[in-house]
Amino acid sequence: MHPHADPRSPATRIDEQAIRALPKAEVHIHLEGTFSLHDMLVLAKESGVSLPGPARTIFDISTHDDFLAPSVTTGGGTGAGSAGLTGFLRFLDWQCGLVRTPEQAARVAYAFAARQTASGIRYADVIVNPTHWNAWRGREIELLSALSEGFDEAAQDGLCETGIAYSLLRSQTAREAEDIVAALTYQRPDRVIALSVDGDEKVTGRTGEKFQTAFARAAVAGLRRTVHAGESSGPAGVWDALDLLQAERIDHGVRSIADPALIERLVRDEISLGVCPRSNVSLGIYPDWASHPLPRLLEAGVRVTLNTDDPVPLGTTLEADWAVAAAQFGFTEADLTGFARRSIEASFASDDLKRDLLAELDAHEAASTS
């Protein structure tokens, strides 16, 4: 990376095809943010539901407050703490509410794996927040099983391998969180490999103490831990994630840059940040790419991965975001290979799969430099 590159100056564009060719993982992506327009049109027809607005503007985040009435659930996804975020989260509720049968859920999962594969992603830790999936309340384990069937079929067809991070909603109670962990521990749904928490931290405030017991039990049960923090609020949420929730990875975490002691802790403990620059800019966390702290985090030695968060409503793909990041910050192809390596290392993939993917990346790098 060019640590002092001027983000406003032109840089050599790295072709997206070259980025797709890099073996890599994605560790911060929400299944709820990957429904294509085609997916929604088919699901709406099957459910006899009308679209909440014109199809051509359904992914326009700025319109979501206008055409979606408030719903009970307002969680998951990203977290800017703005009116736009509120509407966006309601939109996710509506969208996921279209999925009502196991067959539909499996189809959504298969489509996710196919979409990831098209970006050259070999493995994904996908975040699933069942509070969005209205038809599955009280049947969350059945939803996970249906999704797993779709991921299984995709893997059998040679598509991206996927692990599920079950995400709590910040506004859920401590008892609800503990009951969820108990169910996950007892029933052990296929492909559920981690516990997560997401939602708007600016609205809910600090939730580390509330979920401390649930995350401790998840750790004992062998579930990995990843926490949304340091996005719409400051570094305090990241400290809570580390000290109270035993987080192995932080989703977003960009506000950590304001606290030198926290940066030191992240570097010392090799905690990776699943950063999503386009999401941060689209939802108003930062005004533009040039203002984003991604280069400063890297310069400080933080292990950073580049991810899409909710790619379809944000109108992006992983290769597109990597190409923009390279152009904005002067990243070279070697830098992007570093992002690919860190994505594999930070993932919750099995040790065997990590070894195979890193070997594939080594071979790709050797061929590219020979």
Please identify which of the residues 231, 319, 360, 365 carries the catalytic annotation: 231
CB within 8 Å of 247: residues ≥ 6 apart: 215, 225, 226, 227, 229, 241, 271
- Establish whether 209 is a catalytic residue: no
CB within 8 Å of 75: residues ≥ 6 apart: 89, 129, 131, 132, 169, 170, 171, 198, 199, 200
CB within 8 Å of 144: residues ≥ 6 apart: 128, 130, 164, 166, 189, 190, 191, 192
CB within 8 Å of 194: residues ≥ 6 apart: 125, 163, 164, 165, 166, 223, 224, 225, 226, 348
Which residue in 104, 24, 100 sits closest to 321, CA to CA?
24
Distance between CA atoms of 26 and 339, rounded to whole angstroms?
10
Active site amino acids: 231
